[in-house]
Chain A
Amino acid sequence: MRRPRPYTDPYLAGIGVGLVLLAAYVVVGQGLGASGAFASVVASGTAALQGTARAAMVPAVAPYLPFGVSSPLRDWLVLELMGVVAGGFASAWLAGRLRRDTERGGGVSSAQRMTAAIAGGVVMGFGAKLARGCTSGQALSGGALLSVGSWIFIATCFAAGYACAPLARRLWR
């Protein structure tokens, strides 16, 4: 196994992400997203379990069931996120960075890291729904359009992260 190649300079990678976002504006008239795809998958799952008609009665689910069809494959964000998975895999593969691993700070066990990952994901999923988007849909895509709500999101997200960071120090030491 060859040694993994070093990462690209963050500013260059950022310009790359920015050009992709610009391409999304130009081609499809909307930005990038991630949490919306999760919402779509959950909505489709709910529809599959309860029937589309009942699922569509929940106002938080209905917008994710376009045309009354409950296939997540009809959703732009789900297809986009599948592309993200493929692109991330291809990049890591070509750079020798594919590795089965549980990445964590030195202060916690793998099991503790997995618990934190799931718990953090739960809070993040709830927060993203409440904020109507995440780091991709709000911070990046809305932020570059100077959306007021996106900048509120950026401000409180980092403020809360930094405020709680001392409490979570053991996770990342």
Chain B
Amino acid sequence: MTPLTETGWLGAAGALAAAPVIGFAFGWFLERGGLGSAPKLAGQFYLTDLTVFKVMFSALLTAMLGAFWLDRLGVLQLDLVYLPETFALPQAVGGALFGVGFLVAGLCPGTSCVAAATGRRDGLGVIVGMLIGVWLFNAAFVWVEPLYSATPMGSIRLTDLVDIPSGAGVAGVTALALIGFAVAGRIERADR
């Protein structure tokens, strides 16, 4: 039964030892897909290169379906997997800021590390900027705190929000993603 850390199979030291291995595989597949290259990522915002959408949503779909079925088969206890808490307003504002930063930087936090690791100076620039941005947030925390803590909703899933079974939510997101992939294919064919 898993998660291994929650069912007593893996201690804190084991989890720390797994971290670089999991990270290595993550960085490997990001680079394989071309996500270490800023102009390629930025192409998503001009619909000239849809790699970001394709990688992101095929990854999301794989993990979502895998977790759902492993839970059904009794291999993974999905309610023990850490579900981030929802704070609707700060996450809406933070997401929008993040999107603007992503557009200008051309890389997100994880992919900036891949870009820097493969020799891209702009990747290193994004890393430096990120560290400054986090420091600024900490320094301004007294003023940001009311927004940061606003609209807490707890650990909540989309399926709780509309009160449907988790299987229906998984099927819905799968259908949406498949439609998205079809649209992405159309956009690419129209570009040619």
In whole angstroms, how far apart are the Cα atoms of A21 and B178 in the complex? 20
Considering only CB atoms and an 8 Å cut-off, how many residues of chain B contact the other chain?
129
B20 to chain A, nearest CB (A): 4
**Are the CB atoms of B97 and A126 closer together than 8 Å?**
yes
Cross-chain contact A121 with B132 (CB below 8 angstroms): yes
Chain B contact residues, majority secondary structure? helix
Q: Interface residues of A, CB < 8 Å — how many?
A: 122
Closest Cβ neighbor of B81 among chain A residues: A25
Residues of B within 8 A of A149 (CB): 84-88, 91, 153, 156
Instruction: Indicate with 1 or 0, residue by residue over A78-99, a CB within 8 angstroms of chain B CB atoms.
Output: 0111111111111110010111
Q: Mark B33-54, 1 if CB is under 8 A from A, else 0.
A: 1111111001111100011001
Which of B36, B64, B103, B153 neighbours the largest number of chain A CB atoms within 10 Å of its CB?
B103
Q: A152-B95, A172-B43 are in contact. List 4 more A-B contacts (CB 8 A).
A: A90-B28, A116-B105, A126-B133, A156-B93
Q: Are A161 and B103 within 8 A (Cβ)?
A: yes
B51 partner, pick from A10, A61, A124, A132, beta carbons under 8 A: A10
Taking CB as reference atom, which chain B residue is nearest A123?
Answer: B101
Contact of A20 among B22, B34, B88 (CB under 8 A): B22
A residues 102-160 in Cβ contact with B at 8 Å: 102-105, 110, 113-114, 116-160
Most chain A beta-carbon contacts within 10 A, residue among B55, B86, B119: B55
Would A124 and B63 be within 8 Å (CB), given that A13-B33, A27-B10, A83-B27 are in contact?
Answer: no
